[in-house]
Each structure stands twice: as C-alpha cells, then as structure tokens.
C-alpha cells in the first residue's frame, strides 16, 4: 500500500513551511512558555498558518498552557498513520482560538514508548506541507526524539537562563550539537534575562561563544498567571515587555524567511554552462 503521507494524488507536495525546534539542556527553563507564545505571536500575521507539535511525549503540557482539550494526540497519529493525509490531517489537530493548530502530546507518559520516530518524521513533513511554520516543543535534553527533530529543523532555539547550572549544561549542549554538525541551526535564547544573577545577560555571548542571542525578560507574575489560566500572555498582555520580546522574535523569524524566499537562487548547472558557452562565443 502506498504511503499516503508521501504521496498526494500521486505526486509529493513540496515543503512549504519552516520548522523551529525549541529545546534546552535543563528542565523548567521556559521551552513550553516560549513555544506557545511564539506560535500565537506568529499567527497574528493573518497570512500565516501555524502548527504546534508537543514533542515532549512523556510530560507535554502545551494543551494545559493553551487551555485545550484535544480529542486526538500524537499517539492517535501513530496508530492511524495509514489513514492520515492532507484531507484527514486537520481532524487530528486541535485548533486554538488564535488559529494555531496543535498536535498534543499523549495523555499518559507510558504512551511515549509507542511513538515511532519514522511516523513522527512523516507527520512533520505533512505539517510542513500544510503550514508556514511548525513549532516543536521538546522534552528536556538531547533525547533521541529531540535529536531527530533537530536534524529535521530549519532553526533550533536553545534556551538557557542565567543560572550557573543552566549555562554549564547549555555549553555542553552546544558542544554536542557542534559535534553532530548541527550547531549552525542554533539560535540562543536567554530566558529570564533580567533575573538577579551573578552571570549577567550581556556576559552570555562570550561565555557560550554565541553571537546575537535573543533575550526574554523575567516576569514571573505574568508567566505564572498566564499558565494558571491557560491564556498565553501574547494574547491578553501584548503590551508587556515579555510579550514584546516574543513578538520581536516572531518578526525576526518572518523577515529572515522572507529574505531567504526572495534571495535569488544560484544559477543551475545548465544556466552556468549556457553563460559559459555564450561568453566563449563572444570572445571568439
Ligand atoms: N520569562 C519568564 N519569566 C518568569 N518566569 C518564567 C519565564 N519563563 C518561564 N518561566 C517560569 O518557568 C517555569 C517553567 O516554564 P516552562 O514550563 O515553559 O518550562 P519548560 O522548559 O517547558 O519545563 P519542562 O522541563 O517542565 O517541560 C514556569 O512555571 C514559568 O513560571
Ligand atoms: Mg515544557
């Protein structure tokens, strides 16, 4: 039986979207907060279709952070992959009021073992074919599933805070990504950048050897309140500094993508050959 994900009425549909994977070396650092708020900030641009995948298969809490009650999760995708194509895909996603479409993590941690990486790989392709952005929240650290997402990603947002342990482990994570040849995809995000700490936000680029990190300020009251009520702060606290930092990140992503899309393509082999031959004719 042909694999429906790879064939749309016979021909493969080209990738349309950009995949952003959000990860961190330490837990509780703000990956989920960033994932949901960034997805919604991107969706404020009406032309963009945004999907959000909870890749923290054991303890994913994107549904909670967005006050969603999904009927289907990643587990159902794995079980029903043969039946999923661009027509049935929407029924597996839950649509948030912002327009962001979410594929939720399984409801129980033991289901995480059922998630086959090959199926998720195909699911990402399908989501990327139908959306402009696919944002992926991940489990803490460099688990196998996370490395797989990173390999597939266009950009990887590595989060740290200014705490010593976070910085130490982020350095190790960046070194590992370097060894794996994946370091070029990394955008460092310093979360809670205005928190009291012996390490200052401005020291981070030198300590980690990273240029141009993005900074998200510390605002425990706004973030805690937002998580408690399940309303991401970019929705109802758009004027706060923390929300503005996420909107700025979304703008950077969109403008970088526009530049990449409109950048003139390098000439093809045949074009190069044609111009070389033309040049030779003129010379002779
Ligand atoms: N910019 C911020 N300012 C203040 N508090 C923050 C900020 N970002 C995150 N937090 C706090 O950090 C806690 C963890 O956030 P979050 O759940 O997003 O982290 P995580 O990395 O996804 O954690 P886990 O490893 O459990 O998945 C939240 O309870 C939130 O209150
Ligand atoms: Mg999380």
Residues lining ligand 1, judged by CB closer than 6 Å?
A: 24, 27-33, 56, 140, 191-192, 216, 218-220, 223-224, 227, 242
Which residue puts its alpha carbon closest to atom 11 of ligand 1? Answer: 30
The answer to whether 136 and 55 are in contact (CB under 8 A) is yes
The DSSP call for residue 73 is B
pTM for this prediction: 0.89
Other beta carbons less than 10 A from residue 16's beta carbon: 13
3-class SS of residue 86: coil
* Residue 257 confidence (pLDDT): 83
* Residue 6 confidence (pLDDT): 45
3-class SS of residue 267: coil
Q: Which ligand is nearest the CA of 245, by number?
A: 1
Give per-10-residue mean pLDDT for the chain (284 aa): 43 77 98 98 93 97 97 94 88 96 96 90 94 97 95 97 97 97 97 95 96 97 97 97 98 87 67 62 48
Rounded to an integer, what distance in angstroms lies between the CA atom of residue 47 and that of residue 210? 32
> Structurally, how many domains does the chain consist of?
1
3-class SS of residue 111: helix
Give me ligand 2 centre to Cα 70, in Å: 17
The answer to whether 250 and 38 are in contact (CB under 8 A) is yes
- Ligand 1 atom showing the smallest separation from residue 140 Cα: 25
- Report the first-to-last Cα separation within the chain, whole angstroms: 58
Which is it for the CA torsion 212, 217, 222, 227, positive or negative? Answer: positive
Range of the structural domain that residue 121 is part of = 4-283
CATH code of the domain containing 276:
3.40.50.300
* Residue 227 confidence (pLDDT): 97
* Residue 272 confidence (pLDDT): 66
* Residue 166 confidence (pLDDT): 97
Pocket test for ligand 1, best of 30, 105, 246 (most atoms within 8 A of CB): 30
């Amino acid at each position: 039986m042909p694999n429906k994900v790879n064939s749309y009425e016979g021909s493969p549909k080209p990738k349309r979207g950009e995949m952003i994977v959000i990860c961190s070396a330490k837990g509780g650092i703000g990956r989920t907060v960033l994932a949901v708020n960034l997805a919604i900030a991107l969706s404020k641009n009406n032309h963009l279709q945004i999907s959000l995948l909870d890749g923290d298969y054991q303890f994913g809490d994107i549904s909670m952070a967005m006050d969603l009650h999904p009927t289907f999760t990643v587990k159902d995708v794995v079980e029903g992959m043969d039946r999923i194509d661009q027509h049935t895909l929407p029924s597996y996603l839950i649509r948030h009021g912002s327009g962001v479409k979410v594929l939720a993590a399984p409801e129980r941690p033991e289901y995480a073992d059922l998630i086959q990486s090959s199926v998720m790989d195909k699911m990402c392709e399908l989501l990327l074919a139908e959306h402009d952005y696919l944002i992926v929240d991940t489990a803490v650290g460099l688990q196998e599933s996370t490395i797989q997402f990173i390999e597939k990603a266009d950009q990887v947002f590595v989060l740290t805070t200014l705490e010593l342990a976070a910085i130490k482990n982020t350095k190790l994570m960046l070194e590992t990504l370097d060894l794996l040849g994946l370091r070029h995809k990394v955008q460092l995000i310093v979360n809670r950048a205005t928190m009291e700490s012996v390490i200052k936000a401005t020291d981070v680029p030198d300590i980690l050897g990273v240029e141009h990190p993005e900074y998200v300020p510390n605002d425990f009251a706004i973030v805690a309140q937002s998580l408690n009520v399940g309303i991401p702060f970019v929705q109802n606290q758009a004027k706060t500094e923390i929300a503005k930092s996420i909107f700025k990140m979304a703008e950077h992503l969109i403008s970088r993508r526009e530049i990449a899309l409109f950048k003139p393509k390098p000439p093809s082999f045949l074009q190069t050959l044609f111009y070389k031959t033309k040049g030779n004719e003129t010379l002779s």
